[in-house]
């Protein structure tokens, strides 16, 4: 089914955005690039002016008590996570955080008719709207569920891939249980709850998950059973942090590339204690595995997970 409200101008704007993502090296895989060129993003944010729908920025969707609880993520960030996910045609994928349904449509494009996409949102109004957007854009084969993503969606398991497009501080047992033995889990994670969030791609590896890549990000946090209070803005452990942030903002305006590098170093240090993540080895065991820390490793326990941090020699 093709979208009826796709216009020549929307197609042009979409290709301009995709060209920009490509030039920036965000969409190296042809399947992700094709999805960005095909899915009509504007149909997922009806009411937003056409041009705004195709700017490389996040679009707020819903607030509760003045707090943003849903937004359509920035295309660059979506691209980074889809590349981390390494989704293939014919695969089954579960998304937690349906939002507008746009990312689910991109994934449906990548997996094709022989694949399967299930997406969950905790709010029934958002789930209903995501369903309507997906139908209008021609992706009615995506299954939209209203529920708490902490439980995954067992009826559709197992999944080759699970992706969260909402921030977590832990790895729920349901996500491990519903992932194929050779599956991949991608999620915005801040397991020490410091405010430094990274999109981490984990591969299933027997009784643990092994992290493969880390990309700094800033997603809205999970609500429901896995909700955890966000650290206060001024809880930064570094002395002089506020001055540092102000300087970083100024540098970023004048020299965006240098600003990004400085920001990455800051995030790396805040989350992992080092300015670069070269040699970082992060594993995630279920708590009941009772993994015993080895020399040179650091361990951090959350409710469900023992995170084990090690560094390869020379890292
Ligand atoms: C950044 S938005 C996701 C954007 C979305 N992927 C898109 O393409 O528009 C995060 C979403 O996660 C949802 N969410 C928050 N907690 C959740 C939970 N426990 N289970 C499922 N969805 C949740 C929010 O309602 C919100 O819509």
pLDDT at site 237 = 46
Does one domain contain both 106 and 51? yes
Predicted pLDDT of residue 4: 64
- The rounded Å distance from CA 33 to ligand 1 centre is 23
Nearest alpha carbon to residue 153 among 143, 140, 141, 165: 143
* Best residue for ligand 1 mutational test, from 77, 97, 175 (most atoms within 8 Å of Cβ): 97
Ligand 1 contacts CB of residue 119 (under 6 A): no
Same domain, 81 and 148: yes
Q: Is 296 left (phi over 0), alpha (psi -120 to 50) or beta?
A: left
Task: Give the structural domain span for 82.
Answer: 8-225
Q: Are 197 and 252 contained in the same domain?
A: no
Determine the atom of ligand 1 nearest the C-alpha atom of 126: 27
**Residue 155 CA to ligand 1 centre (angstroms):** 20
Query: Measured from the CB, is residue 175 less than 6 Å from ligand 1?
Result: no
| Residue 121 Cβ < 6 Å to ligand 1 | yes
Longest CA pairwise span in the chain (Å): 61
Whole-number Å distance, alpha carbon 90 to ligand 1 midpoint, is: 24
71 included as an active-site residue: no
Mean pLDDT of the chain: 93
Q: Indicate if ligand 1 lies below 6 Å from the C-beta of 60.
A: no
Q: Is the same domain home to 264 and 116?
A: no
Residue 57 lies in a domain: yes
Q: What is the pLDDT of residue 266?
A: 93
Question: pTM of this prediction?
Answer: 0.93
197, part of any domain: yes
Q: Looking at residue 256, what is its pLDDT?
A: 74
Residue 170 near ligand 1, beta carbon < 6 Å: no
Segment 95-139, tens digit of pLDDT: 999 999 999 999 999 999 999 999 999 999 999 999 999 999 999
Distances (CA, A) of 311 to 45, 96, 212, 291: 43, 31, 13, 17
**Domain annotation covers residue 306:** no
280 lies in some domain = no
Q: Tens-digit pLDDT profile for the chain (315 aa)?
A: 566 678 999 999 999 999 999 999 999 999 999 999 999 999 999 999 999 999 999 999 999 999 999 999 999 999 999 999 999 999 999 999 999 999 999 999 999 999 999 999 999 999 999 999 999 999 999 999 999 999 999 999 999 999 999 999 999 999 999 999 999 999 999 999 999 999 999 999 999 999 999 999 999 999 999 999 887 654 444 455 556 666 666 766 677 788 888 999 999 999 999 999 999 999 999 999 999 999 999 999 999 999 999 999 876
Quick check: 152 and 121 in contact, CB under 8 A? no
- The CATH number assigned to the domain holding 157 equals 3.40.50.150
Atom 14, ligand 1: residue with shortest CA distance? 97
| For ligand 1, mutation pick of 121, 134, 137, 178 (most atoms within 8 Å of CB) | 121
- Residue 230 located in a structural domain: no
- What does residue 136 show for φ and ψ, rounded to 5 degrees? -65, -25
């Amino acid at each position: 089914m093709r979208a009826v409200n796709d216009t020549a101008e929307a197609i042009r704007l979409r290709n301009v955005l995709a060209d920009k993502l490509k030039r920036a090296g965000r969409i190296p895989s042809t399947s992700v690039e094709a999805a960005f060129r095909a899915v009509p993003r504007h149909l997922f944010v009806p009411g937003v002016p056409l041009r705004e729908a195709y700017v490389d920025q996040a679009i707020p969707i819903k607030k509760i008590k003045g707090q943003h609880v849903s937004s359509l993520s920035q295309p660059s960030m979506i691209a980074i996570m889809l590349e981390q996910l390494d989704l293939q045609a014919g695969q089954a994928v579960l998304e937690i955080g349906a939002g507008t349904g746009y990312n689910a449509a991109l994934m449906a494009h990548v997996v094709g008719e022989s694949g399967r996409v299930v997406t969950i949102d905790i709010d029934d109004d958002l789930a209903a709207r995501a369903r309507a957007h997906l139908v209008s854009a021609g992706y009615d084969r995506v299954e939209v569920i209203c529920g708490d993503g902490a439980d995954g969606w067992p009826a559709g398991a197992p999944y080759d891939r699970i992706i969260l497009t909402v921030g977590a501080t832990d790895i729920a047992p349901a996500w491990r249980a519903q992932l194929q033995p050779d599956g991949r889990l991608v999620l915005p994670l801040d397991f020490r709850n410091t405010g430094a969030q990274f999109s981490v791609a984990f591969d299933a590896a027997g009784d643990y998950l092994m992290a493969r890549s880390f990309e700094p990000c800033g997603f809205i946090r999970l609500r429901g059973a896995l909700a955890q209070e966000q650290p206060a803005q001024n809880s930064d452990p570094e002395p002089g942090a506020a001055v540092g942030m102000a300087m970083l903002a100024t540098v970023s305006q004048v020299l965006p590339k240098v600003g990004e590098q400085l920001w990455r170093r800051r995030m790396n240090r805040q989350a992992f204690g080092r300015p670069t993540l070269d040699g970082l080895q992060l594993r995630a065991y279920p708590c009941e595995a009772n993994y015993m820390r080895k020399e040179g490793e650091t361990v951090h326990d959350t409710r469900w997970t023992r995170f084990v941090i090690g560094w390869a020699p020379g890292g």
